[in-house]
């Protein structure tokens, strides 16, 4: 156990350093953790082997962070707000998927000379919007409490749902496992609100954290079913959050405690590990390939989304902030890239370029959005300058 505790100490030390840097630079903690992960794994620190980023327990903690953070993102959605913004989130989400899917596939096939299967896989991997990054930014800034932020989260879900469906239709076999996953998940999600309400009513305030244990049981069970069927664990996690959104909104204290556990312990493993996946030697050997993929994703997102977002948001900063956050990528992008590598659809070199472009798309658009276009006038805390400054500095009320 000694090596595990030593390695965990290194990961958490990097997490603390990332938090200090994020506070000093007034940047999103998620973005800083990704950059610190890149530096730690491939820079002069030489921690790549010591961090053991591919060890089973680190991958489990990272995956758990992505799953629970995605659940929290779904739980933040206000059903009433989504109903009123259904046209917006549907249009923005679909365009946010289709534009980069076709645009990046064309870049890979016609500009980079990749074969058809690799090009379509490239389009899928770069079509995503990072729910994990966007939700982390929403939390830090306070936009998760506004109709503006909830609309962005809803659009992210539609965008990523298109990515999952495209990956399944083009590459993943449709078998009896897929049917069992759909039926099993549907039944579990249908029973989840009533079961959770019963547990909360009878045991939530008497037994130690039974509601949190119940939610973790549900998320891990649905995640195991999803992985067994060939899907991904984060998809049912988001749906579980959505079906519990109403009850979660009535118990902000419980959500805050679950969020503290997730952001304080689990997500640093996810974001730091994402940074360790970048191979700087491969990028330095052919930087133009990386730039072509990154520019292809961001440009297709911006040119595809901005005209449609302009129809729903009149303020210039709101339009650009919305567009740039929808241009991010991370979770499903890396998952799709890894799927392509594992099934021989892309080479190791192509995988490195894709993952690097995906991770860069999580950093660059979000940094620009936060520094230049944050619509702070929408924040409920705008009337309290001290609290608003703390939020924009990446600090929470819990410290």
Task: Encode pLDDT of 13-71 as tens digits.
Answer: 999 999 999 888 877 787 788 888 888 877 555 676 788 888 899 999 998 998 998 89
Sequence-ordered list of residues with C-beta below 8 angstroms from that of 27, at least 6 positions apart, any chain? 21, 367, 370, 394
* pLDDT at position 5: 93
**Mean of the per-residue pLDDT values for the chain?**
86
Computed on alpha carbons and rounded to an integer, the radius of gyration of the chain in Å comes to 20
Contact 304, 100 (CB under 8 A): yes
Domains of the chain: 2-392 (1.20.1530.20)
In terms of Cβ atoms closer than 10 Å to its own Cβ (0-12, 13-18, 19+), residue 326 is buried
* pLDDT at position 293: 96
* pLDDT at position 385: 39
**pLDDT single digits (tens) 271-312:** 898 888 777 777 788 899 999 999 999 999 999 999 999 999
Contact 361, 328 (CB under 8 A): yes
Distance CA 245, CA 68 (A): 14
For the record, the structure tokens of 209 come out as 């954290």
Contact 9, 51 (CB under 8 A): no
Asked whether residue 262 carries a pLDDT value surpassing 80, the answer given is: yes
Contact 293, 357 (CB under 8 A): yes
Put residue 49 in one of left, alpha, beta given phi > 0 → left and psi -120 to 50 → alpha: alpha
Distance CA 205, CA 5 (A): 33
For the record, the structure tokens of 174 come out as 């449709």
For the record, the structure tokens of 11 come out as 């990961």
Distance CA 151, CA 329 (A): 18
pLDDT top residue among 324 and 171 = 324
Asked whether residue 249 carries a pLDDT value surpassing 60, the answer given is: yes
Tokens 């799927």 belong to: 339
Asked whether residue 206 carries a pLDDT value surpassing 80, the answer given is: no
pLDDT top residue among 12 and 399 = 12
Distance CA 50, CA 300 (A): 38
Asked whether residue 151 carries a pLDDT value surpassing 80, the answer given is: yes
> What value does the mean pLDDT take over residues 75-83?
76
DSSP string, 60-104: HHHHHHHHHHHHHHHHT--HHHHHHTHHHHHHHHHHHHHHHHHHH
Asked whether residue 166 carries a pLDDT value surpassing 80, the answer given is: yes
Contact 70, 331 (CB under 8 A): yes
Alpha-carbon 207 to chain mean position: 32
pLDDT top residue among 155 and 343 = 155
* pLDDT at position 97: 96
């Amino acid at each position: 156990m000694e090596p595990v505790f030593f390695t965990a100490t290194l990961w958490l030390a990097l997490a603390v350093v990332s938090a200090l840097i994020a506070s000093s630079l007034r940047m999103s903690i998620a973005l800083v953790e990704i950059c610190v992960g890149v530096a730690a794994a491939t820079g002069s620190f030489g921690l790549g082997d010591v961090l053991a980023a591919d060890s089973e327990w680190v991958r489990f903690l990272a995956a758990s962070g992505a799953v629970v953070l995605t659940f929290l993102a779904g739980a933040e959605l206000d059903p009433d707000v989504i109903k009123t913004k259904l046209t917006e989130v549907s249009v923005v989400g679909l365009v946010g998927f289709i534009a980069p899917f076709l645009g990046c596939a064309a870049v890979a096939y016609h500009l980079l000379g990749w074969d058809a299967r690799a090009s379509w896989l490239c389009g899928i991997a770069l079509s995503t919007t990072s729910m994990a990054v966007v939700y982390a930014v929403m939390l830090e800034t306070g936009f998760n409490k506004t109709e503006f932020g909830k609309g962005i989260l809803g659009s992210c879900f539609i965008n990523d749902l298109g990515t999952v469906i495209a990956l399944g239709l083009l590459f993943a076999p449709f078998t009896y496992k897929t049917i069992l996953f759909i039926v099993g998940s549907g039944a579990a999600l249908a029973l989840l609100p009533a079961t959770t309400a019963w547990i909360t009513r009878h045991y939530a305030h008497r037994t130690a954290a039974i509601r949190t244990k119940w939610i973790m049981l549900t998320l891990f069970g649905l995640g195991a079913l999803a992985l067994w069927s060939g899907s991904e664990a984060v998809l049912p996690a988001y749906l579980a959050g959505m079906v519990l959104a109403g009850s979660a909104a009535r118990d902000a204290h419980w959500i805050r405690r679950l969020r503290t556990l997730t952001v304080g312990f689990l997500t640093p493993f996810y974001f730091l590990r994402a940074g360790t996946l970048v191979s700087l030697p491969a990028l330095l050997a052919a930087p133009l390939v990386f730039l072509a993929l990154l520019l292809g994703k961001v440009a297709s997102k911006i040119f595809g989304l901005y005209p449609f977002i302009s129809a729903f948001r009149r303020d210039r900063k709101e339009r650009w902030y919305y567009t740039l956050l929808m241009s991010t990528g991370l979770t499903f992008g890396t998952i799709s890239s890894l799927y392509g590598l594992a099934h021989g659809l892309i080479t190791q070199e192509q995988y490195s370029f894709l993952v690097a472009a995906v991770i860069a798309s999580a950093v660059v658009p979000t940094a620009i959005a936060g520094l230049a276009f944050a619509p702070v006038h929408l924040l409920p805390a705008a009337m309290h300058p001290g609290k608003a400054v703390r939020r924009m500095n990446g600090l929470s009320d819990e410290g």
